Amino acid sequence: MASDQDFVFKVVLVGDGAVGKTSLRYRYMGEGFRSTYVMTIGADFAVVPVEVEYNNTLYKCKLQIWDLAGQPRFREVRSLFYQGAYGSLAVYDKTRRETYENLIEWIKEIEEKRGKIPLILIGNKKDLCEENPDIPCVTYDEGVELAKKLSERLGFPVHFYETSAKTGENVNTAFLELTKVMLDMTMKQQV
């Protein structure tokens, strides 16, 4: 069965500079999608359609995926960025431990601006760790541990994926999982 109801979800990508947010967004968008630059807040967004099955029904969703161009320092600017956000991908770079440690600050900022919204944890640049065993990467287990802590903090499951924007590994899966969680939350709020 297909639903005639359509959903539009604003999704924000957060995490330190150069962890791969823009690369993940482009990888997920694929060719042919146009992104729109919002100069006043220094952000880019693009709309990507995605179909999700939920309770044996196919739902058409549109993800409006937002990404800060550079890292605007001003919190006032970032308030606009978070406005209306319904889900988030929180990204760290497996090869730079400080980006893993800093992620909690980004999550606190989301909570402060938007409250507890669906969130997926991403450890990106998996390919670099696999190719270079000498890099002291953040391990998979450490990612799982952080996801567990975040789940406890937020009161709902936070899924965790290790991705590569370079090879594309797990990129679609992560966005799809986020869409499912957002849809689930919306349905539960509607009852």
User: Which residues in this chain contact Mg ion in the complex, by CB under 5 A?
Assistant: 21-22
User: Binding to ligand GDP by residue 17, rule CB under 6 A?
Assistant: yes
- Judged by CB under 6 A, the residue of 10, 114, 125, 180 near ligand GDP is 125
Binding-residue total with ligand GDP (CB under 6 A): 14
CA 144/CA 141 separation, integer angstroms: 5
Contact letters for ligand GDP, residues 161-180 (x by CB under 6 A) = ---xxx--------------
Q: Are 123 and 92 in contact, with CB atoms under 8 Å apart?
A: yes
Hey, what are 76's tokens?
């006032």
Nearer to ligand GDP, 44 or 184 (CB): 44
Report what 127 binds from ligand GDP, Mg ion, none; CB cut-off 5-8 Å by kind: ligand GDP
Beta carbon nearer to ligand GDP, 20 or 143: 20
Distance CA 120, CA 128 (A): 21
Nearer to Mg ion, 21 or 180 (CB): 21
Range 172-190 burial, b when 16+ CB lie within 10 A, else e: eebbbbbbbbbbebbeeee
Q: Which two tokens stand for residue 151?
A: 């789940």
Q: From the list Mg ion, ligand GDP, none, pick the one residue 20 interacts with, judged by a Cβ distance below 5 to 8 Å according to partner type.
A: ligand GDP
Smallest distance from the beta carbon of 8 to ligand GDP, in angstroms? 23
Give the DSSP letter string of 52-119.
EEETTEEEEEEEEEEEESS----HHHHHHHHTT--EEEEEEETT-HHHHHHHHHHHHHHHHHH-S--E
The residue ranges that bind ligand GDP (CB under 6 A) are 17-23, 124-125, 127-128, 164-166
